[in-house]
Structures are given as C-alpha cells and as structure tokens.
Amino acid sequence: MSTNIAPSKISAQNMNFYYGKFHALKNINIEIPANKVTAFIGPSGCGKSTLLR
C-alpha cells in the first residue's frame, strides 16, 4: 500500500509572534499541504488572522 503525501506549501515550526509584550502566538507548528482546502476556525481573538499575516 502506498501513501501519497502532498508536499507542504506552508510550514511553520516553533513560531512565536508578539504584539509588543503580548505573546499572541505561542510555539505554533503547522504543515499546510499544497492543493488542499484548509480552514482556520476558532473564537474571536485566538490568533487566526495573526497566523495568516
């Protein structure tokens, strides 16, 4: 049995982002494959837009 794994289009490892002293994103690890639909869902203020910037 072979497994086809799409190559990553976007990759982040141990990513952190600060707004001044505010630690907005903490140790983000993500692999987003090419040619796949990906959704970022979560409550308001959880960092979705910050991650996409």
Residue 3 maps to a domain: no
Residue 28 maps to a domain: yes
pLDDT score of 21: 96
Chain Cα centroid distance, residue 18: 15
Segment 3-53, tens digit of pLDDT: 666 778 889 999 999 999 999 999 999 999 998 999 999 999 888 999 888
pLDDT score of 1: 60
For residue 12, give its domain range.
8-52
Max Cα distance, the chain (Å): 50
Angle at 48 between CA 45 and CA 52, to 5 degrees: 140
pLDDT score of 23: 94
Domain count, the chain: 1
Residue 40 maps to a domain: yes
Residue 2 maps to a domain: no
Residue 46 maps to a domain: yes
Residue 1 maps to a domain: no
